Structure 1
Amino acid sequence: MEQIKVEKLEAIRLDHFLVDKLDLSRSRISQLIKSGDILVNDQVVKQGYMLKTNDIVTIKPVETKTLDLKPVDLNLEIVYEDEHLLVVNKPKGLVVHPAKSHMEETLVHGLLHEMDELSDINGYFRPGIIHRIDKDTSGLLIVAKTNEAHQILASKLKDHDINRSYMALVYGTFEESKGIINAPIGRHPKQRIKNAVVKEGKHAVTHFEVIETFKDFSLLKCELETGRTHQIRVHLQFINHPIVGDPLYGFKPLLVEDGQMLHAYKLEFEHPITKKAMTFEAPLPDSFKAYLEKLR
């Protein structure tokens, strides 16, 4: 049985509050509230109950469907591999790791097919996974094979010692050639599946540089100084240059059908064991390149 004490906060619905706390979908949380498996101050409440400071939320243990992590041959593109880690070029459309709300094939299923050993620090659902990119973002990820490598890489990620660069095609053109977006990111106050720039959000910084300009679009190189969920997507929307094809933060109708034009093209880091400087680049996916040629 899990209990969460509500610290000082502005009024928020119970179901919205728990979306941030539990690895469950909002619909599943609603089911548990209705069935009495989630209580507030030992009382059954409605999902729209407005939490108050010092409320005690109790989540009863509930049987969940076990995720079957069988290896699946996804023909993954392994860019680099040694006995400590690997770098993989994730295709667009593939979720990084499974969760109770996502039972379909993921990058982890493909990694289990390719690897005999992956770190287990992050638990059963996320073997080897140190950082993520969105389902509809393509590009490079570091995966740890040993716990020692995982711990060191996770620490470097936290200390911003792993450089991650992205290519993004966005709406509009820029007067400046480069810039820095320094704006805190947190949950969207009204749309809980989205994040937004909010005053009480977490510190977030994105650097960008204009690589190419088209009539109504710009190709940017973006570098993450921090690693908030949806950071580049949220920041570019915040400055009124959302990513082309972004279903959550982009303009409607979408100009492309297979996800946002965002690609994690470069990784730079120090090898956790050998201390060697490592740099990897992955070319833009064919669909991304084809759209750029169309614009040209």
Structure 2
Amino acid sequence: MAVVIIDEANAGLRLDKALANLSKVSRSVVIDLIREGKVSVEGQVKKAKYKVKAGEAITYELPEIAVLDIQAEDIPLDIVYEDADVAVINKPQGMVVHPSAGHTSGTLVNAIMFHIKDLSSINGVIRPGIVHRIDKDTSGLLMIAKNDVAHESLAAQLKAKTNKRRYIALVHGEVPNEKGTIEAPIGRNPKERKKQAVVAGGKAAKTRFTVLERFPGYTLLALELETGRTHQIRVHMAYIGFPIAGDPLYGPSKTLIPNLGQFLHAETLGFEHPTTGELMEFQVDVPDIFAQQLEKLRALS
């Protein structure tokens, strides 16, 4: 059992929303707990719509955490580089980086467990070796730590913003400026929990872009991250009115070709080797589906 006390900021809210705000439990799970009678206010079971008052004690049962059994899987993997400390992977579009309740197999972690002998343990059994992530429908480069010392070094570089991360994106619209910087805070969308948004009080986020090529109705951009917020490029480009082509969450419903996924590719990755101190940089071309779409746009120009 766990208990939270309603503060002034949450007083007057519905029980389900207030409890989700004050606990680490998602609102959908909170609603299930309330339906099952596992949430009480001052000892009395209440409905989700009950308006809470400041000082009230909310008691709830912590949801059971499913233990995921993560197995190595012989999934084809493009290993761009590997040594005793690090590996660099070119992740295909459509692959989830690590297992979760909805994706227990077929992820990048399942693949690297099969192909790479040693992986760091810092992020536990769910994310062995994973230092950073890119979205399921984003393709491109990821660095993998093969031991804990390497992991700590690579993570520190990410925190200090010394890594190089360059993305290639096809966006809707004709971007007027050749270069630009988007600096706008990002946090959870207050109206749609699955989405991020530019919000007051969000975490600082900064993205730089350069126009590479122009097409009627579309622009090809190179983007560099100075921060690494969830969905940062996707949110920032949508915020300035040029969403990523094919983005199912932040883009328009009408896109280039249905079901091709988003045209966002982590093209360049640079970091300091955790053992030798050597500056290393890797680059991979956009996937075939991306390149083919660019050729179609060039033919129409």
| Equivalent residue number for residue 205 of structure 1 | 206
Aligned 1:1-296 pairs, distance under 5 A: 1=1, 9=9, 14-15=16-17, 18=20, 22=24, 27-37=28-38, 44-47=45-48, 60-256=61-257, 257-296=259-298
Which of 106-115 and 7-16 deviates more?
7-16
Looking at structure 1, the residues matched to 78 and 91 of structure 2 have their Cα atoms a distance apart, in angstroms, of 7
Residue type of the alignment partner of 1:216? G
Residue type of the alignment partner of 2:280? M
Residue type of the alignment partner of 1:283? D
* Conserved 8 A contact 2:165-2:270: yes
Looking at structure 1, the residues matched to 284 and 18 of structure 2 have their Cα atoms a distance apart, in angstroms, of 38
Q: CA RMSD in A?
A: 2.6
* Conserved 8 A contact 1:170-1:243: yes
* Conserved 8 A contact 1:19-1:29: no
Looking at structure 2, the residues matched to 104 and 46 of structure 1 have their Cα atoms a distance apart, in angstroms, of 37
* Conserved 8 A contact 2:175-2:242: no
Looking at structure 2, the residues matched to 146 and 43 of structure 1 have their Cα atoms a distance apart, in angstroms, of 50
* Offset at residue 175 of structure 1 (A): 2.3
**CA 1:121–1:239 in structure 2 vs 1: closer, same or farther (change >3 Å)?**
same
* Offset at residue 68 of structure 1 (A): 1.7
Say which SS state the counterpart of residue 143 (structure 2) adopts: strand
* Offset at residue 282 of structure 1 (A): 1.1
**CA 1:120–1:31 in structure 2 vs 1: closer, same or farther (change >3 Å)?**
same
* Conserved 8 A contact 1:97-1:107: yes
| Alignment TM-score, normalising by the size of structure 2 | 0.88
Looking at structure 1, the residues matched to 103 and 112 of structure 2 have their Cα atoms a distance apart, in angstroms, of 17
**CA 1:201–1:9 in structure 2 vs 1: closer, same or farther (change >3 Å)?**
farther
Say which SS state the counterpart of residue 143 (structure 1) adopts: strand
Count of matched residue positions in the alignment of Structure 1 and Structure 2? 295
* Conserved 8 A contact 1:16-1:192: no
**CA 1:273–1:170 in structure 2 vs 1: closer, same or farther (change >3 Å)?**
same
Looking at structure 2, the residues matched to 78 and 251 of structure 1 have their Cα atoms a distance apart, in angstroms, of 34
* Conserved 8 A contact 1:71-1:113: yes
**CA 1:44–1:283 in structure 2 vs 1: closer, same or farther (change >3 Å)?**
farther
Looking at structure 2, the residues matched to 156 and 73 of structure 1 have their Cα atoms a distance apart, in angstroms, of 31
Say which SS state the counterpart of residue 90 (structure 2) adopts: strand
**CA 1:69–1:216 in structure 2 vs 1: closer, same or farther (change >3 Å)?**
same
Larger Rg: 2
Say which SS state the counterpart of residue 73 (structure 2) adopts: coil
| Alignment TM-score, normalising by the size of structure 1 | 0.90
**CA 1:200–1:174 in structure 2 vs 1: closer, same or farther (change >3 Å)?**
same
Say which SS state the counterpart of residue 174 (structure 1) adopts: coil
Write out per-residue CA displacement over residues 22-61 of structure 1, whole angstroms, 9 at most, x where no aligned residue: 4x76544432332244556665444456677766665534
Say which SS state the counterpart of residue 171 (structure 2) adopts: strand
Say which SS state the counterpart of residue 156 (structure 2) adopts: helix
* Offset at residue 10 of structure 1 (A): 6.3
**Unaligned stretches of 5+ residues in structure 1:** none
Looking at structure 2, the residues matched to 80 and 271 of structure 1 have their Cα atoms a distance apart, in angstroms, of 12
**CA 1:33–1:82 in structure 2 vs 1: closer, same or farther (change >3 Å)?**
farther
